[in-house]
Structure 1
Amino acid sequence: MPIELKMPALSPTMEEGTLARWLVKEGDSVSSGDLLAEIETDKATMEFEAVDEGVISQILVAEGTDGVKVGTVIAMIQGEDEGAAPSKAAPTPPTTANTEAPVVVPPPPPVAAPAPAAPAKVAGDRIKASPLARRIAADKGVELAGLTGTGPNGRIVKADVEGAQPGAAMPAPAASAAAPATMAAPAAVPDFGIPHEIVKLSNMRKTIARRLTQSMQEAPHIYLTVDIRLDALLKLRGELNASLESRGVKLSVNDMLIKALALALIQVPKCNVSFAGDNMLQYSRADISVAVSIPTGLITPIIVDAANKSLSTISTEMSALAAKAKDGKLQPHEYQGGTASISNMGMMGIKHFTAVINPPQAMIMAIGAGEKRPYVVDDALSIATVMSATGSFDHRAIDGADGAELMKVFKELVEKPLGLVA
């Protein structure tokens, strides 16, 4: 019988996406591992690969359609041993990039919400994985047993393998402490006759709105601010950049602050946590999510284990991740997770601000601009380069005294920066 091709869940949190582009057309023969379509999630555009062989008999959702729920039937594949594909019930919907609502011909039956993914095994413990995923796993030395598949019927696909560590399965995402907050539809904005245009929200902007509303509603924020003298760090940065010039590496102040925050979290582990209802997740590694502004919104690529990486490695990784973020090419494992975040608006001249915690994390560091200010140095008033840093802490998980200890350690690391290279 025909095989239903359904909208895949390309990340653990994906609920819907945009079918950006079909890479096949009706009548094309496909094999397992062939690329079928480009799917735009709330964070990136990802490739969707086939897991079955056959002929594309019908395309049911036109490219450019957004708001396609995970599990929706988007095309039909006729098995190669089932004879010719049946005649189409209706013409293929026209391709358009400005579709206002999902176009489905004929309408697929209602699809139940997908059940929680389980390890990709079937009878006899045979692992279900696409050939491409198997090749990547073999190249990386990743064990497929135990990986959670996000492809059709729990099959392991490319995206599941790319973020896994060699020799071990990628851990399943931690369960949220509570169901995501449902955003109430805002009242219609009255038309006061002011000239305007209606701008449709991108998937990313919808996600930002939902998650930050959830954060402010669920997490009681506490804000702690310190002023930090930057002169020693700026001097060290200049010396390091002079020595790294031949390697094509140029450290930014933000690279050094990422390392300082990671080290501070290791020294004050009570702040390297997530609140989980009746439990607390205590992290033994500091993965720093770094806020990056892109045309469609905000995304937070992650520097994994930043406390144990050199400044040059952090700088190189951050440059690569920022470039991928701006091109919409980040993979889920590059932006999902993290144990704390840093947001730096100093380069835009902002002296002080408070940031919203990125759930399920329990803290975020907001960095203001460094500026010349009167400052007491060695009991004498002088002029120093000073910045303000404000930590936002989830008070359910982090007491004010522990947050203050983290800010103190962060300040010391920045003001005595040789500890960043020790």
Structure 2
Amino acid sequence: MPRMFGTDGVRGVANTEDLSPELAFALGRAAATLARERSGGRVVGVIGRDTRRSGPMLAAALSAGICSAGGDVVDLGVITTPGVAYVTTHLKADFGVMISASHNPAPDNGIKFFSGDGYKLPDEVEDQLEALVKARPDTMPRPTGAELGSIRQSPEAVEAYVEHLVSTGSPLSGLRVVVDCGHGAAYRLSPEVLRRLGAEVIALNTAPDGLNINAGCGSTHPEVLQEAVRAHGADAGIAHDGDADRCIAVDERGELVDGDQIMAICALDLKARGQLPNDTLVTTVMSNMGLEMLMRRHGIRLVRTKVGDRYVLEEMLKGGHGLGGEQSGHVIFGALSTTGDGILTAVQLLSIVAREKQPLSTLAGRMQRLPQWLENVRVGRKEGWEQNQAIQAAIARAEAEMAGQGRVLVRASGTEPLIRVMLEGTDMAHIQRLAASIAEVIRTELQ
């Protein structure tokens, strides 16, 4: 039987067997039970969600499960994923839960847990939760009367998160910024934070209806933001995904500034101010070699991990490093947050623009990208692709043809039925052709 928890919590189409209200209830009961076993007393769980229609349904089921096992719930309503992590630590709660499927379409949803310290649960704790869920229901406590849990809202805790974000930034007076909230979790918070810092904010896609999250907008469709930045003559643009744990930027010319460039700008700024621990940046195997070359020139070591912000964070914590992230726009500022935070990243990036008094295009232009091409190959099954001889032969042929002038990276998505084929080299047409040849073999073998 496949593991219930993927690389980023439990995900699936909401109200199906993969992610049903019954499963959410069971997860809530299991989380409260496990927390009570560890604390020996009454426990508190923090719950937040993005704007999907299924969010209130799953939140209600989770809350009922937690209360049924004797835990109290602080329901934050619509808030970002990093907002849940922050409030969990701020309230000294036992655990936090975010209901979101990030950049996925509206019918999907997910349940992601944080421990009391604001970090994602380690695999072994997720395994304990899964074992409790799969056990007989009567193996978990079912208190009555005063021992039942309660549910309350806490707008003041959400305000504390907003104040924290504002406290990390520099004055942004004089900057005009377009923010594409993607009808997602940041639709109120991101414009509010930037306005409090003094920026003139033009906010896009701030009318969620439960079905329009990520629909032709947000970080997965940056062309909307690019056009708006040009139309408004803005200094910069920011686009969030559904749960706002990442952001993509656009410079004043309407050109994309991806996660690699954002990390480059922030790493150079932190190093110049003596605030980059170990003079090290942690990123994944997907980051462009241009980032590595720039960091080397400035005396910054680049450490690569497997794809996934959890692996970046693990390496940061293990090595005592303060900055890490992904090309997709997940950026982790270790001194300010326990997870990637798209609003926090926007604040840090725009603060550098304001302090340096240079256009974002100039700051981003310090990093020269090598041509990179990514193909997402939808497959019938992901299992066994690494042992497939035809796929491995196709990869080997591409590597031989590149003759050391680039790299090939093939990996399975952790959240979707996709095999991702990424090539990097000196000639775009060449790497596109090689990527297409590998992708065709994968489709044939894994249909």
Q: TM-score range by the shorter chain?
A: under 0.3
The structure richer in helix per residue is: 2
TM-score, structure 1 as length reference: 0.26
TM-score, structure 2 as length reference: 0.25
